[in-house]
Amino acid sequence: MNQIAEIADVLKLLGDKNRLTIVALLNEKELCVCEIVDILQTSQPNISQHMRKLKDGGLVKETKRGQWVYYSLTVQDKPYIAEILKQLPSQKEKMDSLVCVENDCCT
């Protein structure tokens, strides 16, 4: 695939508000699906579907720890993503409001 087509595919992925928010969240730190569900207030299957698309698009990687899967960004080979991330508003406030951590759902 040529570079323009690859970039276009990645930008299509980021054209979805939820996926763009997930990428912004993962720019702060790696997260478990249940944490993303808590922040975005949507269903686990919905988030899992978004995560699969982001993983297939080469934007995130997953790491298993026990029964939980944690996601992190993997965009080192996509410098244009770094520029997009610089323009996104900080998600620290949303991260600080995680109820999931209190409920110990991922540990």
Stated pTM of the model: 0.88
The reply to whether 94 falls in a domain is no
The reply to whether 104 falls in a domain is no
The reply to whether 95 falls in a domain is no
CB contact burial 34-54 (16+ within 10 A = b; e otherwise): bbbbbbbeeeeeebeebbebb
The reply to whether 102 falls in a domain is no
The reply to whether 103 falls in a domain is no
Tens digits of residue pLDDT in 14-29: 999 999 999 999 999 9
Residue 100 has pLDDT above 60, yes or no: no
Sheet holding 60-65, edge to edge: 31-32, 68-73, 60-65
The reply to whether 106 falls in a domain is no
Domain with 67 in it: 3-88
Sequence-distant (≥ 6) Cβ neighbours of residue 41 within 8 angstroms: none
Number of domains in the chain: 1
Give the pLDDT confidence score for residue 102 in this predicted structure: 46
Tens digits of residue pLDDT in 19-78: 999 999 999 999 999 999 999 999 999 999 999 999 999 999 999 988 888 999 999 889
User: What value does the CA radius of gyration of the chain take, rounded to a whole number of Å?
Assistant: 14
Length in residues, the chain: 107
Residue 36 sits in a domain whose CATH number is 1.10.10.10
